[in-house]
Amino acid sequence: MPEPESSFLRQFYNCSILRHGKILKEDLWVRNGLIVDPEKIFYDEKIMPDERINCHDALISPGFIDLQINGGFGVDFSNDIDTVEEGVNKVAKKLLTYGVTSFCPTLVTSPPETYRKVLPKIKKRNGGSHGATVLGVHVEGPFISITKKGAHPEEYIRNFENGFRSLTDMYSSLENICYVTLAPEIPNALSVISELCKKDIKISVGHSVANLSDGEEAVKHGATFITHLFNAMLPFHHRDPGLVGLLTSKRIPTEKIIYYGIIADGIHTHPAALRIAHRTHPEGLVLVTDAIAALGLKEGVYRLGQYDIEVRDERAYIAGTETLCGSTAEMSHCVRFFREATGCSIVEALEAATLHPARALEIDSRKGVLNFNAEADFVMLDEALGVLSTWIAGKCVYTKNNNYVIEL
């Protein structure tokens, strides 16, 4: 079939759609890569669709958005310096299989030359048949706590000795960065947070020994996110709950939502902890995979930045240790596990991987939703929330069985 013209109108019918916090038995209409209001089609333009697609009772959800993914399918963004562009392309393409339509390639703590070589090569770009949208790079480190370094090599961890200049000297270019994870208790961190905000770069607190007051000050200066809640931070304590306490802090204005990533892979976060987080602060919960190069592959030895990683029993460890470091889970699995563990609704599970990450990045006017005039990035799901097909700009970029009936 020839490529549709810009005015080509598609109608997706025999489906349910997730819109405005509800699952509605409605058709979905797409034109020019955007979702359109059928009432205007019927009453103003008085035209028929150029193509009708039978969805066979599938549930249509906005495409999944992963704000923290270190690599996958044999690719490690922090280690494959010379081939990182090809690596990003490969991961972007493969992620379509799991319903991911947008993602943030993530770099773990690395030598300065890694940032200087890699960051200019991972450019923001729109998605399509070539792969998911690249929203920008999430740099996780090196300005973190040595005490909570996890899989971040101690010899490359830095502080803000020269304030914001320490950060720009390390990364060289900020152009392709959308998120910076840092430890807010590091001296000069608050002024760095303020400067990053001026450049429209989001700040996440994590890999940190910060107490609640440190976290609240970071939020006051512009931090809006917590990196993989419960992991690589002080454990909850009733006299000082640490960064976990930001979920219920009274020092944060009620109109400001603190978002937090959480790894719902069944390994990093106990189901009871998932339930605590969800019941405490559901509107801020963002599912992330924190996936590494082993995603989509068999158990074995892989790389994560400067470390060899051993994957055994579906767990990723720094080789020769029992230190967990990233996951091998894909996003649709995290959605299903999160729903099962918390008993939340289908809407809540899906919005944790769609609407919430879009809101965290302040792109929810165009992504993470199926509202009129939003980008037509969506995923079709079966009753068990398994991925049937993935669509970007209203075009199919992955299908599991290709059983859609297209009527011209």
The token duo for 335 is 């959605």
The reply to whether domains 9-62+368-407 and 64-360 share a CATH topology is no
For the domain spanning 64-360, the CATH number is: 3.20.20.140
The token duo for 92 is 């972007």
Nearest by Cα to 207 from 233, 241, 184: 233
Residue 239: Cβ-neighbour burial (10 angstroms; 0-12, 13-18, 19+): exposed
pLDDT at 290 over 90: yes
Contact 397, 74 (CB under 8 A): no
The token duo for 14 is 């025999």
- 268 annotated as a binding-site residue: yes
Alpha-carbon gap, residue 218 to 269, rounded angstroms: 24
- 126 annotated as a binding-site residue: no
Alpha-carbon gap, residue 328 to 291, rounded angstroms: 5
Tracing tokens 């809407």 back to the chain, one arrives at: 347
Confidence of residue 3 (pLDDT cuts 50, 70, 90): very low
- 239 annotated as a binding-site residue: yes
The token duo for 309 is 């990683």
Confidence of residue 84 (pLDDT cuts 50, 70, 90): very high
- Distance from chain centroid for Cα 231: 17
Alpha-carbon gap, residue 123 to 279, rounded angstroms: 37
Nearest by Cα to 30 from 46, 43, 13: 13
Alpha-carbon gap, residue 326 to 232, rounded angstroms: 11
For the chain, domain boundaries:
9-62+368-407, 64-360
Nearest by Cα to 145 from 154, 136, 137: 154
Tracing tokens 């990003």 back to the chain, one arrives at: 88
Of 286 and 402, the one with more pLDDT: 286
pLDDT of residue 112: 96
Q: What is the mean pLDDT of the chain?
A: 94
For the domain spanning 9-62+368-407, the CATH number is: 2.30.40.10
Question: Of 149-158, 177-186, 188-197, 321-330, which range is least confident?
Answer: 321-330
Contact 302, 37 (CB under 8 A): no
The token duo for 302 is 């892989």
pLDDT of residue 46: 77
Residues with Cβ within 8 Å of 342's Cβ and at least 6 positions away in sequence, in order, are 271, 274, 275, 278, 279, 348, 349
Residues with Cβ within 8 Å of 184's Cβ and at least 6 positions away in sequence, in order, are 190, 193, 205, 208, 210, 214, 215, 217, 218, 223
Average of per-residue pLDDT across 6-14: 91
Predicted model pTM: 0.95
- 356 annotated as a binding-site residue: no
Contact 18, 62 (CB under 8 A): yes
- Distance from chain centroid for Cα 250: 27
Confidence of residue 2 (pLDDT cuts 50, 70, 90): very low
Burial 191-219, CB ≥16 within 10 A → b, else e: ebbebbeeeebbbbbbbbbbbbebbbbbb
- 140 annotated as a binding-site residue: yes
Catalytic residue among 290, 313, 377, 382: 290
Phi-psi domain of 299 (left: phi exceeds 0; alpha: psi -120 through 50; beta: other): beta
pLDDT of residue 244: 97
- 290 catalytically annotated: yes
Confidence of residue 305 (pLDDT cuts 50, 70, 90): confident
pLDDT of residue 1: 40
Tracing tokens 């970071």 back to the chain, one arrives at: 218
Q: What is the pLDDT of residues 345-387, one digit of tens each?
A: 999 999 999 999 999 999 999 999 999 999 999 999 999 999 9
Alpha-carbon gap, residue 285 to 261, rounded angstroms: 6
- 223 annotated as a binding-site residue: no
Of 314 and 383, the one with more pLDDT: 383
Alpha-helical segments (H) within 126-207? 164-171, 189-198
pLDDT of residue 326: 85
Alpha-carbon gap, residue 387 to 379, rounded angstroms: 7
pLDDT of residue 404: 60
Average of per-residue pLDDT across 58-87: 96
pLDDT at 261 over 50: yes
Contact 330, 98 (CB under 8 A): yes
